[in-house]
Structure 1
Amino acid sequence: MRIDRIYQCEHGKYVVDVYLDNGEFYFTSHHFETKKEAELWAESWCYWANNLIDGGVDTVYYILQVPDTWPGPPIGANPYSGLFVKIGRSKNVLQRLQNLQTGTYGELIIHALEPGGSERESELHRQFSSLRRHGEWFACSTELTNHIYSTWYKNKMLPPEHQYEVLKLAHRIQDYKQIRQILGHTPDTVNPALDDEWHGTTMIDLVYSSLAKNEK
């Protein structure tokens, strides 16, 4: 990653154009009040981004847990209502994810990453302390969901397979919304295991559930 230019927008704030090493445009940063703030962000962000893959820097991660049985958000709720996110830090996020997946039910998706170590992690834990449910797992309120999206928008760094999973989750949420509209209510059972007792209106999702995945 490299910085191509820092410039002032029409409304007086500053932005940074970020390019890949091959010269391809990557993204334009969020806005900064001063050029100095933009320069400081550009320097620290580039150092973090260029050392992220090699595990040379601390990274704060937001890992979303999405159970097969999640029926989607209630009508009028934020998109991730009913889900939990783990806010932690690691120098090797993919390895951390693999360790977490072993003992965690449902799919785990890396939704956002940002530079930061223990101090930033503790700051976030304090900020969302009222949402803490267990350890580093937090309930996805509207505020926290917006923060996750904002963090992704500011940093634009996710493994490609997790970018795809985030997009797939957005489609799943929209599909479930349409199903509720057709049924007039949320299904009583969503993606139950084959040996579970089925009751009421049961929905089997052959696109997003584990029933559709090749376990071999």
Structure 2
Amino acid sequence: MNTVLFVIAAYLIGSVSFAVVMSRLFGLSDPRTYGSGNPGATNVLRSGNKKAAIATLIGDAAKGWFAVWLALRLADRFGIDDTGIALVALAVFIGHLWPVFFRFVGGKGVATALGVLLGLNVWLGLATLATWLIVAYAFRYSSLAALIAAVFAPFYYGLLFGADEILFAVAAMSALLLFRHSKNISNLLAGKESRIGSKSGAAAKASAKKK
């Protein structure tokens, strides 16, 4: 019963969309209405507001980290085993993808997945983050960096800890992340994918109207 409660709580934590929350706080257009339509830090950056994008990135990563950290911290007290931790990790990630508070229209999960990985193990998260940074710096495509980092994340976990229930959760997150980036994959192959920092025309017009 405790595991079920932790999983539900993790899903609700994941359902808080910081892209939408921060956009409202900074007086920006809803990130679901411009650019890729994805409520995430990269799309918020297309509004031209770097502070809002950074706040979104930190918030989305923090909720993934917090849900896993809390479950690990309270695991012994409430009898949460590795299977429960794996389910909590998946639940907070799924909450971001399909948030109950925003009509199940969520982001693609890159920052939240990173937060989950950092919560599971700092070195696992840092290795995955380093992979994202290297690819993003080399090619200037956030989506490509996310795809490659997602592929490597389960490999890093297996290398560090071997095969267990949590490895399957990490692999499932990676699979879902790849699925959520299916349109980006098509755009990358067609040469139509937006590069990091490119400002959306719709976002620019909306910003101009508010000035």
Tell me the TM-score range normalised by the shorter chain. under 0.3
**Larger RCO: 1 or 2 (CA < 8 Å, sep 6+):** 2
The normalised TM-score by structure 2 is 0.27
TM-score by length of 1: 0.27
* Structure with more of its chain in strand, by fraction: 1
**Greater C-alpha radius of gyration:** 1
Structure with bigger helix share is 2
